[in-house]
Chains A and B, each alone.
Chain A
Amino acid sequence: MAVNEQTFDLAARPASARVEEKLYNVRFKTDEDQSHLIVMDSELCARCTDKPCTTFCPVTVYKWENHDRKISVGYEKCVECGACRIGCPYYNIEWRYPKGGFGVQYKNG
């Protein structure tokens, strides 16, 4: 039972409800050199039927790119909750903290 299918109409929501819109208000200092999140084996992702990381990540870092047959990683918007570290059914995500001082910088917390 996905939220948007049965009980909640995604299309009817205002733009402010989209996570991309919400992230405009969140402060980040992006490490341009390297991602702190690495999907280790794309073959595993291709075989993974549900690809739950593309759903449960609260900021939608992970997207399945059908053309490239791999998961793309938008680490720049990661809020470092750690859900993917634990939630990937194959523990296929190498999860580290961003370098010191980089990543999300909350204003309220």
Chain B
Amino acid sequence: MIERGDEPGTKNVMGGVLYRQPTEKIIPGWWREAPVERPIVDERMWLLTEDSMIQAGFKSTRYAEEPHNAFTVLRVKFDKWFADKATGAGAVLITNTVAEDVIREGGRIVGVRTGREQGDVYANVVIAADGVNSLLSKSAGLHGEIPPHHVALVTKEIVNMTREKIEDRFLLNPNEGATIEVFGDSTMGMLGYGFIYTNRDSLSVGVGALLSDLIRKKVNPNDLMERFKANPMVKRLLEGGESKEYMAHLIPEGGAAAMPPVYTDGMLVVGDAAGMSNAIYREGSNLALISAKLAAQTCIDAHNRGDFSARSLAQYRHLLDESFIMKDLRLYSRTSQFFQNNRDFLEVYPGLLADAAHQMLTVDSVPKQDKQRAIVRRLLKERAPWDLVRDAFGALRSLS
């Protein structure tokens, strides 16, 4: 394992949710001893406008019971623990070292060139797990440049807050956690969303949008973050908290259609490096973990076959295809494309919905039927009937 940070995790950023079941496939019972923040018992979704929000969610005591479903984590703490598990099992960890390029011999990849003196490392198989900016798979010729509409740029802040305050504010029992995904005005209608996750004694607050949208709208990510934090619905949740760390990260958003080849002679590509993320369902860490497991299984089988050629390593691709990973990523390509082509979902509908709710719930002696008619008139003014039908069916189809 070659790590460019001073220790595992210090270069890594994620929203902060790790799922129990997929991680269990690597280390059974991991969550009993790993440094997790809080098990998530409450998942909320907000549709935000400048002064209002519509919320939905699912909270259940079932998630409060062991073995739980998902946990918030902070990668610096978690990754250190996780790497210790690997070294405990016999892996060698080299820190402070960048794998800069692949080494080729006779057309196949036989190792990596690191930034150290005499730093060539040879191996039967190189597994590129170098994240969204995978310079290794690029130097292996597996993909060219990623277009800006295939990545989201996300900023995140760690906001310190006492446990009691977090539990009171988010209506949680001690040590239980909540997540909130925030669509709509959080990204000014750009494709993306904001989030607020509860850690043990801090909040992870983030917001991100497609890089192409940020460029097109000329929005600075820190300005977007400040605007998100200043929204009255968000502001109250963060009040009194102290911002302790600011970070930024890219997330691959192209789905299956944008994935590079994931294997070649002597090399496999896993996780973000292979473009595996499913933002609609907030999944990424699970795809990385399971793809790494399938890669490991392929390496073991290839070792037994004594064959590390592309033909032998193609097993990895078959395993991915059979797993939920490629099935979900193929679906996600459609979903992501649909929302890119149908901007009204993020730009128009949140405001219409909030106004409709506002009208219906404001008690002002106007008959309900008149209110409903006014809402329909307004809707038809913004969207033709055929567009409404097309939007509804399109959204459903892109999600199923």
B110 CB within 8 Å of chain A: no
Q: Is the CB of B12 within 8 A of A106?
A: yes
User: CB < 8 Å: which of A91, A97, A101 contacts B6?
Assistant: A101
Contacts of B76 in A (CB 8 A): 106-109
User: With A97-B4, A106-B11, A106-B247 in contact, do A58 and B222 touch (Cβ < 8 Å)?
Assistant: yes
* A104 CB → nearest B CB, Å: 7
In this assembly, does A11 line the interface, its C-beta being within 8 Å of a C-beta of chain B?
Answer: no
Contact for B223 among A4, A59, A104, CB less than 8 A: A4
* Cβ–Cβ < 8 Å partners of B215 in chain A: 50, 52, 55-56, 87
Query: What is the minimal beta-carbon distance from A15 to any residue of chain B, in angstroms?
Result: 12
Which residues of chain A come closer than 8 Å to B95, judged between CB atoms?
100-101
Contact flags (1/0) for B76-102 with A, using CB distance below 8 Å? 110100000000000000011110100
CA distance A57 to B248 in the complex (A): 9
Chain B 1-25, CB within 8 Å of chain A: the 1/0 string? 0001110011111100000000000
Q: Is the interface of B mostly helix, strand, loop or mixed?
A: mixed
List 22 A–B pairs whose Cβ atoms lie within 8 Å, in order of A's numbering. Answer: A1-B188, A1-B217, A3-B219, A3-B220, A3-B227, A4-B220, A4-B223, A17-B222, A23-B246, A56-B215, A58-B222, A60-B222, A82-B250, A83-B211, A86-B146, A86-B148, A95-B133, A98-B98, A105-B5, A105-B6, A107-B244, A109-B247
Q: Closest CB of chain A to B119's CB: distance in Å?
A: 9
A3: which B residues are within 8 A, CB to CB?
188, 219-220, 223-224, 227
Closest Cβ of chain A to B203, distance in Å, is: 11
Is A47 engaged at the interface, CB distance under 8 Å to the other chain?
no
Q: A26 to chain B: which residues have CB within 8 Å?
A: 245-247
B224: nearest chain-A partner, CB-CB: A3
User: Which A residues have a C-beta under 8 Å from some C-beta of B?
Assistant: 1-4, 7-8, 10, 13, 16-19, 22-23, 25-26, 29, 50, 52, 55-60, 79-83, 85-87, 91, 95-101, 103-109
The segment from B151-159, B299-307, B308-316 found at the interface with A is: B151-159
Known contacts A55-B220, A104-B11; 4 additional CB pairs below 8 A are A22-B222, A95-B133, A97-B135, A106-B247
Given contacts A3-B188, A8-B227, contact A108 B244 (CB under 8 A): yes
Given A81-B249, A91-B145, A106-B12, do A29 and B226 touch, yes or no (CB 8 Å)? Answer: no
Within the complex, what minimum Cβ distance (angstroms) separates B319 from chain A? Answer: 28
Closest to A97 in B: B98
A86 and B10 in contact, given A25-B245, A26-B246, A81-B153 (Cβ under 8 angstroms): no
Known: A86-B146, A100-B97, A104-B11. A109 touches B79 (CB 8 A): yes
